[in-house]
A and B are shown apart, each in its own frame.
Chain A
C-alpha cells in the first residue's frame, strides 16, 4: 500500500494495517495525526512542556509495542487518549510526590484553595499570553479528576461518551466532574471575567 493510500485511511484502518502487516508508515501517520492533540491535552493537564513531550512520546511507544492490544471494537482515539491520560496521571503523581511543599497536602483530596494572585491583577492583564498562563495556573489548581474531564471536554472537544470511555466512568460521573471542575475554574478566574 502506498503512503498516499495510507493517508486516506481512518485511524482504525491504519492501526489494523500496522497490526496485520507491521506497516511502519501507518504508525507514522497515526503519530502525525495525534501528536499535537495529545501534546495539547497532556500539557494542559501537567502544565510542563518537557514532561508532556515525554509523556506523549511514551504513549506512542506503547502504541508501537502493544499494537496488538488494540481491539477494533473501540475507537482508536479513545484507546490512545486512555494511554496518554494514564501516563499523564502517573507523571502527575510522581511530580506531586517530589514536591517538598504542597498546599493541597494540607487539605482533603478534592479540596482546593482560592489563592489571590496579586501578580496578575485584571487591570494589568493585557497580553493574551499572560491570560493563557493564568488559566493554565488555575487549571493546575483544579483537582486531577475534574481537570482531566474538563480538558477532554472543553479543550479537546470530545463527547461525554468518549470521555466516559477514556476515564473509565459512566457519563453521569463525567458530567458531574466537568461541572465541578468548571465551577472551580470560574471561581478562580472571576477576576478575568469581571474585566
Chain B
C-alpha cells in the first residue's frame, strides 16, 4: 500500500517535472528596503497610517457610487416616462370646471333689499336687474350650492356711484347674449379705512384748500 502510494507520488513528480522546474526557477522576490520602517510604524502607530485611513474613509462612499448612480438614473427615467405618459383629456368630453372665484352667491333674502332699493337705481341698472330676474335657470344654479363666495348685503348694493361688473351667473349660465351687471359700493371693496382725529382732519382740510387755491391760480393763468 505504502509502495503504491509512493510510486503514485513519484509518478506525479515526473509527470509534472517541467512545471515543478519552472516554479523552482522563478526569481525570488525580495522585501523592500523600507520594510522594517513600515513594519515598526505599524507596530507603534497602528495598522493603518492616518493618511491612508482618511483615504479609505473617503473612498468608502465611492463603492456605492455605481449603484447610487444607477438608482438615480432609474428614478429620472421613471419620472420622464411618467411625465410623458400623462393622458391628454379631451376638452369636449370633460365637464367644465366651476370657477369658484367667479361665482357670487346670493340667496332670495339677499335680493330683497335690492328690490327695495330698485327705485333708487338708475334706469340702465334697472333694466339689467330685470334681465337678471328673467333668468330662473341662473337663480336655480346659485341655490343648488355649487361653490359659492358669500357676499354680505352691504357688499351687494345696487346703487349709483358704484363700479359695475358682469354678473358671474351670466358667465356660469353661459349666456353671453345678455350680460347682467350689478354694482358694488366702495364700502364693499377692500379699502383700508383710516380714522382721523379732529386735528388731522383740520390739517387735511387746510391742505385741500391750499391745493384748490393753487389749482385755481394755475387755471386763471
A contact residues vs B (CB 8 Å cutoff): 28, 31, 35-36, 39-40, 43-44, 49, 52-53, 56-58, 60-61, 64-65, 128, 132, 135-136, 150-151, 154-155, 157, 175, 179, 182-183, 185-186, 189, 192-193
Contact = CB atoms under 8 A, between A and B. Distances in A.
A150 B12 contact: no
Interface string B40-74: 00110001000000000000000000000000000
Nearest to B18: A193
Nearest to A139: B23
B194 interface: no
Contacts, number: 75
Contacts of A136: 26
Interface string B10-33: 001000101110111011111110
A118 to B, nearest CB: 21
5 contacts: A36-B30, A132-B27, A154-B24, A155-B23, A175-B9
B93 to A, nearest CB: 53
A56 B28 CA distance: 15
B35 interface: yes
B122 interface: no
Contacts of B26: 44, 132, 135-136, 155
Contacts of A157: 24
A109 B71 CA distance: 30
Contact of B42 (A40, A57, A150): A57
